């Protein structure tokens, strides 16, 4: 994907600026500022600004007045303790601001995370670009038979080509109608936009604190999340890794790749460790809970 000359120039100008500050900065994230990470066919994520770092989390937890009062190893240990015991408030002291370009249907999923500040491109005031999302062949799949919100087998051959043809045809026709409504009939932009499908791209600035960002990532990076939002989660994760490496390490360990066990599940694990034979029936777990627990134990 290529950026427009105007956007490329704006990014280069922003990256050329330098400011002296007394606040905490993170060199690894500074190197990434403003540059887009391209996502899907026309989308991107850019880090525009940030506040705080791992030390800010530690400082908030200790309610201290300065930085560097403890060794890095102790800071790491405290962050892991906070993550492990779900002491979330210190993570709210850090914030990240992103510029995101994404399909409208992805934005409607994303906006369900209400604990952020959002300002979206307005099609009441401006005309949307003729850019719409088309899945790659490996993402064209039929409805799953056992997952109401998931995908099943991937389409192939003529079926896949026909689906892409229909999606592209309808999007192009909708955009032609959209522009005609405004140019030929003088219809207001706020009305003309209703004819566009949800695979067209929108943009927004999204600012969120680190605690709520990790909640977003824990859901949207999950293998069961829809592919089109999962790839945005993966892109954002790269910024968090550079920004707060100790926090990311703990998050990855305890949340992304950890497991929360219920009282009944812990009882089953204890019996298994003791060498007892345990079956789902009589374990106190539903069949689904049992499968999930066995998935954790067996990997």
**41-68 pLDDT tens trace:** 999 999 999 999 999 999 999 885 555 5
* Integer Cα distance of 112 and 115 in angstroms: 9
Same domain as 106, residue 36? yes
Q: 3-state class of 190 per DSSP?
A: helix
Q: Which of 5-14, 57-66, 88-97 has the lowest mean pLDDT?
A: 57-66
**Are 42 and 91 part of one and the same domain?**
yes
Lowest mean pLDDT across 62-66, 82-86, 117-121, 239-243 = 62-66
Phi and psi at 282, nearest 5°, equal: 95, -5
| Shared-domain flag, residues 53 and 122 | yes
- What does the alpha-carbon distance between residue 120 and residue 110 come to, in Å, rounded to a whole number? 12
To the query of whether residue 220 is one of the catalytic residues in this protein, the response is yes
Residue spans of beta strands (DSSP E) within the chain = 36-39, 43-51, 95-103, 117-120, 141-143, 151-154, 201-209
193 and 213 belong to one structural domain: no
Total structural domains within the chain: 3
Q: What percent of the chain has pLDDT over 90?
A: 84
Do 38 and 84 have their domain in common?
yes
Mark whether 111 and 249 lie in a shared domain: yes
The alpha-carbon radius of gyration of the chain (Å, integer) is 24
Residues 28 and 109 in one domain: yes
Contact between 284 and 267 (Cβ < 8 Å): yes
Percent of the chain with pLDDT over 70: 97
User: How much is the mean pLDDT over the chain?
Assistant: 93
Q: Looking at residue 237, which CATH number applies to its domain?
A: 3.30.1360.170
Greatest pairwise CA separation for the chain in angstroms:
78
What is the domain range of residue 82? 5-133+200-256
Catalytic residue among 8, 220, 230, 255: 220
| pTM, entire model | 0.92
CA dist 43 and 48 (Å) reads 16
Q: Are residues 39 and 181 in the same domain?
A: no
Do 190 and 289 reside in the same domain of the chain? no
Domain boundary among 179, 198, 217: 198
Q: Are residues 289 and 246 in the same domain?
A: no
User: Do 28 and 102 reside in the same domain of the chain?
Assistant: yes
The pLDDT of residue 2 is 78
Residues 213 and 119 both lie in one domain: yes
Selected residue with higher pLDDT from 152 and 121? 121
Task: Give the distance from CA 177 to its chain's centroid.
Answer: 33
Q: Among 150, 174, 198, give the residue marking a domain's end.
A: 198
């Amino acid at each position: 994907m290529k950026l427009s000359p105007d956007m490329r120039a704006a990014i280069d100008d922003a990256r050329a600026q330098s400011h002296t500050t007394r606040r905490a900065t993170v060199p690894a994230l500074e190197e990434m500022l403003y540059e887009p990470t391209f996502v899907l066919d026309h989308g991107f994520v850019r880090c525009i600004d940030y506040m705080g770092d791992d030390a800010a989390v530690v400082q908030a937890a200790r309610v201290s007045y300065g930085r560097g009062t403890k060794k890095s190893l102790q800071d790491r240990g405290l962050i892991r303790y906070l993550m492990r015991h779900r002491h979330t408030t210190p993570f709210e002291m850090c914030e990240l601001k992103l510029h995101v370009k994404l399909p409208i249907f992805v934005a409607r999923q994303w906006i369900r995370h209400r604990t952020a500040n959002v300002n979206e491109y307005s099609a009441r005031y401006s005309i949307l670009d003729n850019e719409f999302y088309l899945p790659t062949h490996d993402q064209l799949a039929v409805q799953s038979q056992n997952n109401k919100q998931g995908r099943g087998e991937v389409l192939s051959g003529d079926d896949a080509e026909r689906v892409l043809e229909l999606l592209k045809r309808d999007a192009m026709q909708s955009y032609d109608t959209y522009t005609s409504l405004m140019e030929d009939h003088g219809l207001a932009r706020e009305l003309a936009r209703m004819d566009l499908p949800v695979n067209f791209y929108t943009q927004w600035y999204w600012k969120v604190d680190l605690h709520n960002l990790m909640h977003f990532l824990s859901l949207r990076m999950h293998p069961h999340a829809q592919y089109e939002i999962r790839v945005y989660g993966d892109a954002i994760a790269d910024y968090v890794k550079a920004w707060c490496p100790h926090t990311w390490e703990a998050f990855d360990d305890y949340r992304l790749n950890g497991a929360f066990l219920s009282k009944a599940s812990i009882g089953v694990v204890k019996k298994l460790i003791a060498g007892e034979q345990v079956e789902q029936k009589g374990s106190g777990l539903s069949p689904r809970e049992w499968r999930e627990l066995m998935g954790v134990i067996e990997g």
